[in-house]
Structure 1
Amino acid sequence: MASTALILHATWEHIVLVYSTLLASILIAIPLAIASLYNRQLASVVIYFANLVQAVPSFAVIAIVVPFLGIGFIPALIAIMLRALLPIIKNTYIGLTNVDPALIDYANGIGLSEWQIQRYIRFPNAYPAMFAGIRFSAILANSIAVLTAFIGSGGLGGIIFQGLIGYNAEKLLLGAIPAIFLAMLIDYSFALLEKKLTPAYMKERPGK
């Protein structure tokens, strides 16, 4: 019973950390991608910074965060978010810009506002790329959340590291198996959400 309670508590901490990070990443990345549509300099800076952070090893990102923010949930969230931003920003930006210019001209011609163009043309076009980025970021956040146990984030990483330190295979598996299951669940749930939200005409594209 004690082991079950421990696993459930750690799993809950892990889920809260992963989804809090993912939500924060989405709320930052999508507005940045939209703003980048109208400012090439901003687009260059955002993509360069995201690529730069992505190139840094996860442990190094965590190590850099600690001297400035300390340890605990918030530093862990920021460390994970720095790695999770790139796929969402990049895929959303590509999806929003990969629209037939003639379609945008037609929308302007019939008097659609910029907000209507975003809502009815650009975003539906961007959904497949956007969700691919979000799915990848979610899986990435799930894996890095294991590493942030080193800085006191809690979650399944703590159990995994306890198993590694004590050469305890049972404890190691008690932490690793739920983490693997969560990765599969995250991927599947976002695949279903993408399928539900993507317009029918986008699903019927060649190669889809």
Structure 2
Amino acid sequence: MASNLLLTPIFQHIVLAYTALFLSIALGIPLAILALYSRTLQRIVMTLSNLMQAVPTLAVVAIVVPLIGIGFWPAIVAIILRALLPIIKNTWIGLSSVDPAQIASAEGLGLSEWEIIRYVRLPNAYPAIFAGVKFAAILANSVAILTAMIGSGGLGSLVFEGLAGVNMMKMLSGALPAIGIALFLDASFSWMERRLLPRSGESGLE
């Protein structure tokens, strides 16, 4: 019975944190690619991302409430606002740090801009991208705990109920699974990174 009561918050937490993470990836990587070719967009995206990162997490959660209310989707927005910066910044750094000689060789072979991104820039940027996504995953996991304050549910609700009732067991029943999820995801991303790293230095032009 107790395990069943714990499974629902764990499921809610995973759905909340990693829906937001995947949306952050879907937004962040294309924005970083576009920023690579537009200085104006680069300044706007980087400034806004750095600004959101400078704002304390609790303040981000609090700001979301009067704008879009409480519940699951406002919590998703709050998590995205925190997770976007490492994804955008690391992706942009990885894409823009490619050896100019490789870019020149690709252009000499007649590759289009999209083909250069796909076969040259992205493979070389994998380590930086994975580092950003891994950090964003840890952020999403921790912010998902705090969003229980605005009715998102999940493991954060157990943590805050335990704190309010001075119930250490209840608080730990929320905190320990969240820590376990974070460790599992860190190991998973590290495993995927190791699988891709042997190809990260290959441009696909040989």
Mapped partners of 1:135, 1:171: distance in 2:
28
Amino acid at match of 2:45: V
CA contact (8 A) 1:11 1:178 kept: yes
CA-CA distance at 1:6 after TM superposition: 1.5
Residue aligning to 2:196: 197
Report the equivalent of 1:29. Answer: 28
Runs (4 or more) in structure 1 with deviation over 3 Å come to: 199-203
1:114 maps onto 2:113 in alignment: yes
Report deviation, 1:201: 6.0
Amino acid corresponding to residue 15 of structure 2 in structure 1: V
Aligned position for 2:72: 73
- The 3-state SS of whatever aligns with 1:198 is helix
Q: What is the deviation of 1:113?
A: 1.5
1:46-74 C-alpha deviation (Å, 9 max, x unpaired): 00100000000000000000001100000
Name the structure 1 match of 2:171. Answer: 172
* Mapping for residues 11-160 of structure 1, pairs under 5 Å: 11-160=10-159
TM-superposed CA distance for 1:92, in Å, is 0.1
Give yes or no for contact 1:47–1:90 (8 Å, CA) kept in 2: yes
State how far apart, in whole Å, the 2-side matches of 1:76 and 1:46 are: 22
**Match of 2:52, as an amino acid?**
V
Counterpart-to-counterpart distance in 2, 1:78 and 1:201 = 32
DSSP 3-state at the match of 1:99:
coil
Whole-angstrom CA distance in 2 between matches of 1:201 and 1:61: 35
Q: Aligned with 2:110: secondary structure?
A: coil
Secondary structure, aligned partner of 1:111: coil
Identity rate, percent: 58
Q: Residue 206 of structure 1 corresponds to which residue in structure 2?
A: none
Q: Distance in 2 between matches of 1:167 and 1:8?
A: 22
2:126·2:200 contact (CA, 8 Å) conserved in 1? no
CA apart distance, 1:200: 3.9
Q: Is the 8 A contact 2:125 2:200 kept in 1?
A: no
**Any gaps of 5 or more consecutive residues in structure 2?**
none
Tell me how far apart the structure 1 counterparts of residues 123 and 200 of structure 2 sit (CA, whole Å): 10
C-alpha separation between the residues in 1 aligned to 2:48 and 2:9?
A: 33
Q: Could you list the per-position Cα deviations for residues 63-94 of structure 1 after superposition, in whole angstroms to 9, with x for gaps in the alignment?
A: 00000110000000000100100000000000
Asked if the contact 1:124–1:199 (Cα under 8 Å) also holds between the matched residues in 2, the reply is no
CA distance in 1, matches of 2:18, 2:198: 25
For 1:85 and 1:94, the matched residues in 2 are separated by 14
Change over 3 Å in CA distance of 1:24–1:201 after alignment to 2: closer
**Residue aligned with 2:70, SS:** coil
RMSD: 1.1
Letter in 1 for 2:78: A
